[in-house]
Structure 1
Amino acid sequence: MRVLRWTGLALLALLLLGSLAACGGYLYLRGATLPQHEGELRLPGLESAVEVEREPSGVAHIRAASERDLFFALGAVHAQDRLWQMEFQRRAGAGRLSEVLGEATVEEDRFLRTWGFYRAAESAYESLGPDGKLAVDSYVAGVNAYLDSDPPLPVEFTLLGYEPEPWRPADVLVWAKMMSFDLSTNWDSELQRYRLLAEGLSEERIAELIPPYPEDATTVLGDEELQEVAASDGELAGALLAAGDSFPSGIEASNNWVVSGGRTASGEPLLANDPHLGLGAPSLWYLAHLESPTLEAVGATLPGLPAVVIGHNREIAWGVTNVGADVQDLYVLEERGEGYRHDGEVRPYGVREEVIEVAGGEPVRLEVRETVYGPVISDIEEDVPGARPLALRWTSLEPEDRTLEAFLGINRAQNWEEFNRALENYVAPSQNFVYADRAGNIGYVASGLLPIRAEGHTGLVPVPGTGEFDWEGYIPEDERPRAFNPEAGYIVTANNKVTPEGYPYDISFEWAEPYRADRITEMIEARDGLTVEDMVEIQQDQTSLLFRDFRPVLERLEPGSEEAARWREELLAWDGVAAPDSREAAAFAAFYAELARLPAAEVGEEYWDEPRYLLNALEEGDPNCEPATAAGCLRFASRALDRALERFGGDVPEWGEVHRATFPHSVLTNTPLARLSDREAAFGGDRSTPNVGPYDFEDFSMGNGPGYRQVVDLADLDASLYIHAPGQSGNLLSGNYADLLEMWRSGEYLPMRRSGYEVDSELVLVPGG
Structure 2
Amino acid sequence: MTATLGLRPFPFLLALLLLLGGCSALWPGEVDRQTRLASFPTEDLPLESAVTISWSAEMVPFIEAETDRDLAFSLGLVHAHLRGAQLGMLRRLSSGRLSETAGPLTSDIDHALRILDFGRAVDEIWAEMPQETRDWLQAFTHGLNHYQAQQTTPPPEAGLLALSDEPWTPQDLLRIGRMAGTDVNWLAYFALLGARGDPGFMELWQRTLEAGLNGTASFRQNTQTALLSEVLAGESRSGSNTVVVSPERSASGGALLAGDPHLGLFLPNLWLLAGIKSPSYHAVGMMVPGLPFVALGRTPAMAWSGTHMRAAGSDLYDVSGLPEEAFEVEETHIGQRFWFSAKREVRTTPFGPVITDAEMITNGADETLALRWVGHENTDELSAMLRAMRADTPESFREAFAGFGLSPQNMLFADTQGNIGQIMALVLPEREQFPPEDLVLDASDPSTHWQGLLDVRDLPWSLNPPEGFLASANNRPTEDGIKVGYFFSPSERVERLQQILAGQERTSLEDLAALQRDTRSLAAERLAAALLAAIDTLPESSEHEDFLSRLRGWDGDYAAHSPAPVAFELLLYHLLPQINGLGEEAGDDLAEVVNEWNFLVVFLERDLAAMPNAERKAALSRALAAAAEDAEDFETWGDMHRLRASHPLANAPVIGRFFTYGDWPIGGSRETPMKTAHGLTNERHSARYGSQSRFLADMADPDATWAVLFGGQDGWLGSAHFDDQIPLWLEGEYLQLPLTPEGVEAVTVQRQSLEPGR
TM above 0.5: yes
Distance of 1:454 and 1:270 partners within structure 2: 40
Partner of 1:681: 664
Go from structure 1 to structure 2 and tell me whether the alpha carbon gap of 1:41 and 1:489 turns closer, same or farther (over 3 Å shift): same
Partner of 1:654: 636
Deviation at 1:606, TM superposition (A): 4.5
Distance of 2:564 and 2:338 partners within structure 1: 51
**Are 2:31 and 2:719, in contact at CA under 8 Å, matched by a contact in 1?**
no
**Are 2:30 and 2:720, in contact at CA under 8 Å, matched by a contact in 1?**
no
Matched residue of 2:571: which SS? Answer: helix
Partner of 2:252: 266
Partner of 1:283: 269
Q: Deviations over 1:507-528 (max 9, x none)?
A: 1122110011001101111120
Distance of 1:404 and 1:630 partners within structure 2: 59
Distance of 1:59 and 1:256 partners within structure 2: 23
Partner of 1:719: 704
Scaled by the length of structure 2, the TM-score of the pair is 0.88
Letter in 1 for 2:675: V
Go from structure 1 to structure 2 and tell me whether the alpha carbon gap of 1:411 and 1:336 turns closer, same or farther (over 3 Å shift): closer
Farther-moved stretch of structure 1 (65-74 vs 602-611): 602-611
**Are 1:63 and 1:291, in contact at CA under 8 Å, matched by a contact in 2?**
yes
Deviation at 1:642, TM superposition (A): 2.9
Query: 1:518-557 to 2 correspondence within 5 Å?
Result: 518-550=495-527, 551-557=529-535
Partner of 1:599: 580
Go from structure 1 to structure 2 and tell me whether the alpha carbon gap of 1:643 and 1:717 turns closer, same or farther (over 3 Å shift): farther
Let me know the Cα RMSD of the aligned residues: 3.0
Matched residue of 2:100: which SS? Answer: helix
Letter in 2 for 1:302: V
Query: 1:340-355 to 2 correspondence within 5 Å?
Result: 348-355=326-333
Q: Deviations over 1:101-123 (max 9, x none)?
A: 32122112111111211333333
Distance of 2:103 and 2:711 partners within structure 1: 29
Farther-moved stretch of structure 1 (97-106 vs 437-446): 97-106
Partner of 1:389: 368
Matched residue of 1:198: which SS? Answer: coil
Partner of 2:680: 697
Query: 1:475-490 to 2 correspondence within 5 Å?
Result: 475=454, 477-490=456-469
Matched residue of 1:366: which SS? Answer: strand
Partner of 2:755: 766
**Are 2:649 and 2:656, in contact at CA under 8 Å, matched by a contact in 1?**
no
Deviation at 1:664, TM superposition (A): 2.8
Q: Deviations over 1:733-759 (max 9, x none)?
A: 111011111110121111222324332
Identity %: 30
Deviation at 1:317, TM superposition (A): 0.3
Go from structure 1 to structure 2 and tell me whether the alpha carbon gap of 1:635 and 1:537 turns closer, same or farther (over 3 Å shift): farther
**Are 2:403 and 2:427, in contact at CA under 8 Å, matched by a contact in 1?**
no
Go from structure 1 to structure 2 and tell me whether the alpha carbon gap of 1:27 and 1:324 turns closer, same or farther (over 3 Å shift): closer
Deviation at 1:554, TM superposition (A): 1.3
Give yes or no for the alignment of 1:377 onto 2:348. no
Distance of 2:200 and 2:73 partners within structure 1: 56
Deviation at 1:563, TM superposition (A): 6.3
Go from structure 1 to structure 2 and tell me whether the alpha carbon gap of 1:108 and 1:266 turns closer, same or farther (over 3 Å shift): same
Go from structure 1 to structure 2 and tell me whether the alpha carbon gap of 1:194 and 1:526 turns closer, same or farther (over 3 Å shift): same
Letter in 2 for 1:279: L
Query: 1:466-505 to 2 correspondence within 5 Å?
Result: 466-468=444-446, 469-475=448-454, 477-500=456-479, 502-503=480-481, 505=482
* Equivalent residue in structure 1 for 2:388, among 400, 410, 415: 410
Go from structure 1 to structure 2 and tell me whether the alpha carbon gap of 1:9 and 1:495 turns closer, same or farther (over 3 Å shift): farther
Distance of 1:463 and 1:280 partners within structure 2: 37
Distance of 2:489 and 2:603 partners within structure 1: 20
Query: 1:298-337 to 2 correspondence within 5 Å?
Result: 298-335=284-321
Deviation at 1:658, TM superposition (A): 2.5
Q: Deviations over 1:524-578 (max 9, x none)?
A: 1112011111111211111121321212221331464666322212211334321
Deviation at 1:318, TM superposition (A): 0.2
Deviation at 1:153, TM superposition (A): 1.2
Letter in 2 for 1:549: R
Q: Deviations over 1:416-467 (max 9, x none)?
A: 1221121113112110100110011111011111112123652860111114
Distance of 1:43 and 1:465 partners within structure 2: 58
Go from structure 1 to structure 2 and tell me whether the alpha carbon gap of 1:548 and 1:521 turns closer, same or farther (over 3 Å shift): same
Distance of 1:92 and 1:164 partners within structure 2: 16
Farther-moved stretch of structure 1 (239-248 vs 563-572): 239-248
Matched residue of 1:118: which SS? Answer: coil
Q: Deviations over 1:355-381 (max 9, x none)?
A: 111222221122211111111111123
Distance of 1:39 and 1:506 partners within structure 2: 49
Query: 1:736-755 to 2 correspondence within 5 Å?
Result: 736-754=721-739, 755=743
Partner of 1:247: 231
Deviation at 1:142, TM superposition (A): 0.4
Distance of 2:600 and 2:441 partners within structure 1: 29
**Are 1:618 and 1:633, in contact at CA under 8 Å, matched by a contact in 2?**
no
Go from structure 1 to structure 2 and tell me whether the alpha carbon gap of 1:11 and 1:516 turns closer, same or farther (over 3 Å shift): farther
Flag structure 2 segments of 5+ consecutive residues without an equivalent.
Answer: 1-9, 214-222
Give yes or no for the alignment of 1:132 onto 2:133. yes
Letter in 1 for 2:451: E
Q: Deviations over 1:24-56 (max 9, x none)?
A: 996674699953348862253222221112111
Distance of 2:332 and 2:11 partners within structure 1: 22
Partner of 1:228: none
Partner of 2:425: 447
Partner of 2:713: 728
Distance of 1:43 and 1:9 partners within structure 2: 46
Distance of 1:495 and 1:543 partners within structure 2: 17
Matched residue of 2:700: which SS? Answer: coil
Distance of 1:404 and 1:248 partners within structure 2: 21
Distance of 1:194 and 1:644 partners within structure 2: 32
Go from structure 1 to structure 2 and tell me whether the alpha carbon gap of 1:34 and 1:90 turns closer, same or farther (over 3 Å shift): farther
* Equivalent residue in structure 2 for 1:17, among 16, 19, 22: 19
Go from structure 1 to structure 2 and tell me whether the alpha carbon gap of 1:674 and 1:66 turns closer, same or farther (over 3 Å shift): farther
**Are 1:11 and 1:104, in contact at CA under 8 Å, matched by a contact in 2?**
no
Distance of 2:553 and 2:732 partners within structure 1: 26
Q: Deviations over 1:138-183 (max 9, x none)?
A: 11100111112133211111334553211111121111111111xx
Letter in 1 for 2:120: R
Letter in 2 for 1:137: Q
* Equivalent residue in structure 2 for 1:642, among 605, 625, 639: 625
Scaled by the length of structure 1, the TM-score of the pair is 0.87
Go from structure 1 to structure 2 and tell me whether the alpha carbon gap of 1:580 and 1:680 turns closer, same or farther (over 3 Å shift): same
Go from structure 1 to structure 2 and tell me whether the alpha carbon gap of 1:674 and 1:289 turns closer, same or farther (over 3 Å shift): farther
Partner of 1:666: 648
**Are 2:31 and 2:720, in contact at CA under 8 Å, matched by a contact in 1?**
no
Q: Deviations over 1:642-686 (max 9, x none)?
A: 3233334x2423222331223331335434364355444321011
Give yes or no for the alignment of 1:52 onto 2:53. yes
**Are 2:525 and 2:554, in contact at CA under 8 Å, matched by a contact in 1?**
no
Go from structure 1 to structure 2 and tell me whether the alpha carbon gap of 1:761 and 1:568 turns closer, same or farther (over 3 Å shift): same
Q: Deviations over 1:50-97 (max 9, x none)?
A: 111211111111111111111111111111111000000011111122
Distance of 2:576 and 2:341 partners within structure 1: 43
Letter in 2 for 1:579: A
Partner of 2:595: 609
Flag structure 1 segments of 5+ consecutive residues without an equivalent.
Answer: 1-7, 215-238, 340-347
Go from structure 1 to structure 2 and tell me whether the alpha carbon gap of 1:386 and 1:288 turns closer, same or farther (over 3 Å shift): closer
Farther-moved stretch of structure 1 (403-412 vs 161-170): 161-170
Farther-moved stretch of structure 1 (587-596 vs 671-680): 671-680
